[in-house]
Structure 1
Amino acid sequence: MITSKHFIVSTGCLVLAGYFSTALTQEFAVGEPLGANNQSGDFVEMSSNVTVYGSFHFTESCTFDPDRNLILAMNRGNDGGSDDGFVSLINPDGSVHTSKWIGASRDGLELRDPIGSSIAGNVLFTADNGSREVRAFNLDTGAPISAIAIPGEGFINGIAGRDDGASYLSDTTQGIIYEISSDGSVSIFAEGMPLNRPNGVALDNDGNIIVVNIGDSAVITYNQDGQVIKQEAAVEGGNDGVVVLSNGTKYVSSVRFGSVSRIDRQGNAQIIARGIPSAASMCYDSRQNQLVIPMNPNNSLAFIRL
């Protein structure tokens, strides 16, 4: 049974106020593109004839910034909730733009275990499972905007943001989809079947919420009232990431079985790629028309041209 929008907590403003009082006592700075200090002690950006790949530490998800034509990769850092998560900026060819953009300094920053990520408006959302908070960052400056505490215990995972500042968040172990409003209040958006260890979350052009399960192959579409309006299935289960293109085509990545399924508007599913180790929460690069797939402990990204 789906329990729609069950109210949980309305202390988002208090959380925000506490967060800002801490953040304002420290200076926040983002990292710079790759470079080094020369013999004179001056910082020099890396020359254009050099290409660097890598800069990952257990990348769980990515999201794409079309304005800057950059991939933002969430890095969990060391396990156990230590405060060493960071965000890398990656060029569309997979080379490194900025190895640590958010996370170059810990001053004014807490980012423990970033899992899912999403861009909406001018905001980067990430689900920080290490502190069990949804964190928002300014997409231009990288500066922290807010940190919203999520009640209960579990594993917060996939996230999809809306332009009005609201977001939808999966808790995989609790089998819940939360809705976080723009004022910071948290409510249960959906729970119970057909959710089966929900993981990736995305929005379609109509504002519907699409969820994939790691517990089976289901691809579930909810309307904004929390009602199931469509059920589809990927070819394989164990799914992590989901992206929805403007034409309604869905792509689903299986972290357990290493495949990517394409689901057309009629619900027909087929595998377009396979054998990708730990294919996690992918993103869609709309400018290069490609899927970008983090590979968790493999510390790498996979690219699929569409």
Structure 2
Amino acid sequence: MRIPVLLMVAAGLGAGMGAAPLAAEVRVVADIGLKGSEAARHDAEADVIFVSNLGERGPGNDGYISRLGPDGQVLALKWVEGGRNGVTLVDPLGVFVQGDIVYVADTSTVRRFDRKTGAPRGDTAVPGAVRLNDLSVDAKGEILVTDSGSDDRAGAIYRIDPAGKVSEFAARDAALERPNGIAHMPDGSIVHGGRGVNLVFRGRDGKILREVTLPTGRMDGIIPLADGTLLVASQDGHGVYRVPPGGKAEMVAKDIPIPAAIGLDTKRNRLIIPQIVAATLTFVDLP
């Protein structure tokens, strides 16, 4: 088992309006073999963390999924690896754990792997996809996956039903910009970024219900909590916001150069923040 390098730093977390910041322990896990670490998702049942790794950027089939212990210890650096055992993973980004499946979005395909063994469990190609990014899966197995587009093409959001049928959830449009993070809310609505500094809430039919403005944009990972509070990574803000329903956003993790698709360890109330370029994970224990 590979032992992580832990860099201990201090952080101040927002404690609400008018209150003094609360101290929190922040640990950076480095030098464990990650490469282009984009998404981190905690599997509460097994108490492990799945991390997607882009590998070498480009069309090569060399992406991989790492399986880590709750403190960042490597259990299997290349638990699932492109080019081995019949696996294809080209620049994998989004990861989501639902039921017995680990869902992974790579460039143009949503792939499924057995949560315990890593064995392939099928895939769904998304015709016309430019760059699939984050994904969210509901209890019935319906998938929503963002397509972040490119510098000269707007993004889109796709729906994949449990039978594998692909349809548009939000059509490719300049007004959508380049959506990244997406999540199912406890009330059944869907939230995503991609419109400047706004979080967009949609109904199951894809129609916009409302928008919430944050101090900074380029939102990446979004984690909904049971009471409707959101944890939202902002690349422009270099950190993670806590956004309560109807309340003011506050930064709960600061000085993260490029926070990507965040995860939450609910057993420890711990944010897991991957950084692509640095190839690290930052753990923030929330008060």
Interval containing the TM-score (normalised by the shorter chain): 0.7 to 0.9
Aligned to 2:187: 206
- The reply on whether 1:73 has 2:54 as its aligned counterpart is no
Contact persistence 1:251–1:263 (CA under 8 A)? yes
Deviation at 1:153, TM superposition (A): 4.1
2-structure distance, mates of 1:34, 1:300: 14
Aligned to 2:197: 217
Secondary structure class of the residue paired with 1:165: coil
Contact persistence 1:262–1:272 (CA under 8 A)? yes
Contact persistence 2:79–2:118 (CA under 8 A)? yes
Secondary structure class of the residue paired with 2:177: coil
* Aligned counterpart for 1:146 among listed residues 116, 122, 126: 122
2-structure distance, mates of 1:164, 1:142: 21
Secondary structure class of the residue paired with 2:94: strand
Paired positions, count:
256
- The reply on whether 1:127 has 2:108 as its aligned counterpart is no
Question: Gaps spanning 5+ residues in structure 2: where?
Answer: 4-28
Contact persistence 2:216–2:236 (CA under 8 A)? no
Contact persistence 2:62–2:83 (CA under 8 A)? no
2-structure distance, mates of 1:194, 1:241: 20
1-structure distance, mates of 2:205, 2:247: 22
Deviation at 1:235, TM superposition (A): 2.1
User: Deviation digits for residues 121-145 of structure 1, max 9, x if unmatched?
Assistant: 211111111xx11111111221111
Contact persistence 1:134–1:147 (CA under 8 A)? yes
* Aligned counterpart for 1:246 among listed residues 205, 222, 226: 226
- The reply on whether 1:171 has 2:147 as its aligned counterpart is yes
1-structure distance, mates of 2:147, 2:188: 20
Q: 1:30-41 counterparts in 2 under 5 A?
A: none
Aligned to 2:8: none
Deviation at 1:78, TM superposition (A): 0.6
Aligned to 2:256: 276
Deviation at 1:171, TM superposition (A): 0.8
The 1:160–1:176 alpha-carbon spacing in structure 2 relative to 1, beyond 3 Å, is same
Structure with higher Rg: it is 1
Deviation at 1:167, TM superposition (A): 0.3
Aligned to 1:62: 40
- The one-letter code sitting in structure 1 at the alignment partner of 2:55 is G
Deviation at 1:277, TM superposition (A): 1.5
Secondary structure class of the residue paired with 1:115: coil
Secondary structure class of the residue paired with 1:56: coil
TM-score, length of structure 2 as denominator length: 0.83
- The reply on whether 1:195 has 2:171 as its aligned counterpart is no
Q: 1:252-263 counterparts in 2 under 5 A?
A: 252-263=232-243
1-structure distance, mates of 2:118, 2:35: 19
Name the stretch that deviates more: 112-121 or 186-195. 186-195
Contact persistence 1:53–1:95 (CA under 8 A)? no
TM-score, length of structure 1 as denominator length: 0.78
- The one-letter code sitting in structure 1 at the alignment partner of 2:110 is V
Aligned to 2:84: 106
State the superposition RMSD in angstroms. 2.0
Deviation at 1:161, TM superposition (A): 1.2
